[in-house]
Amino acid sequence: MPYFKKRLGIELKRAQRHKENLSVMIINVDNFIQYREAKGVKQGEDIFVDIAVAVRNQLRTIDILGRYSLNQIIVSLYNCSTRNAQKVARRILELMENKFDKEDLDLKLSMGIACYPKVNVKDANELIDYAQEAAFLAYNQGG
């Protein structure tokens, strides 16, 4: 996570300097902790890696992906508007819902997006906080 935050800070400064968009997406893997406890750490981590790889495959090469917490993925989308970040999120949701249904996994995703300059932030931590808050709201609304 320290690498991701450092890179996000650099990307934010670049976006501010060039007056471009920078979106951050938090992807919460709902029920992951319970899944991991029921199936074991190895199987839980294997499915988390599968999810992360599937997410990575939906991103551009300039986008940055990292693990935010035990059950969360964080993505930096440089020069990506809120609207385009929402398109990426919908694509990921559809892909993963199909995977979860096909493999009969009791997992679901909830996502939060924050986009600079739509949210005026002074640093990367604030941008992450906005995305985290949006992810929390999505989770509480059922995805």
pLDDT band at 143 (very low <50, low <70, confident <90, very high): low
DSSP states of 86-117 as a string?
HHHHHHHHHHHHHHHHHTT---EEEEEEEEET
Per residue in 24-55, pLDDT (tens digit) is 999 999 999 999 999 999 999 999 999 999 99
Q: Cα separations (Å) of 19 from 63, 84, 99?
A: 18, 17, 38
pLDDT tens-digit map of 114-130: 999 999 899 999 999 99
Q: What percent of the chain has pLDDT over 70?
A: 99
CA–CA dist 41, 45 (Å, integer): 6
- Report pLDDT for 50: 95
